[in-house]
Amino acid sequence: DMLGYTKEETIGKAFVQNFIQPEDRPSVEEVLQRAMAGVETANYTLPLMSKLGKRYTVLLNATTRRDFKGKITGVVGVGQDITEVNAAMAESKRIADDLMRLIETANAPIFGIDTGGKVTEWNAKASSLLGFTKSETLGKSLVENFITKEFKES
């Protein structure tokens, strides 16, 4: 249903040649060949294209299928659609990157500390005003190293 094909449209068709995009065929073929040789693959990221041209990403486990005598008869693929999860992760990364750029290019000194008071962030404006590079400050105590004596007591 996800890809828009009926059962009749898929049964008996060569999976790789009919349902996998040309650029993805070699790696998908390799996973399937390995499964046909008895080597199962877990958590393979399988790109799929729907009948209407929408791309999906499926996390696939390819398992060898055997008959009652143990002879390999095919491959069973069990997958989970991770398309939306991947899109959400990409958006989160984009937002995090934007925030890091904002912090780094802000026209105000910005620093961050962890619960132990150690510097975890130090932007370009803090560097230019205080004369310490980011690499010189990371992991060091803010109060002990970068606060003047008269302000350490307060």
* Predicted TM-score (pTM) of this structure: 0.57
Report residue 71 as tokens.
Answer: 């002879």
Residue 64 has pLDDT above 70, yes or no: yes
**pLDDT more than 70, % of the chain:** 99
**3: closest CA among 42, 40, 45, 57?**
57
d(CA 16, CA 27): 10
What's the distance, Cα to Cα, between the start and end of the chain in Å? 65
pLDDT of residue 146: 87
Residue 120 has pLDDT above 70, yes or no: yes
**19: closest CA among 48, 54, 61?**
48
Residue 2 has pLDDT above 90, yes or no: no
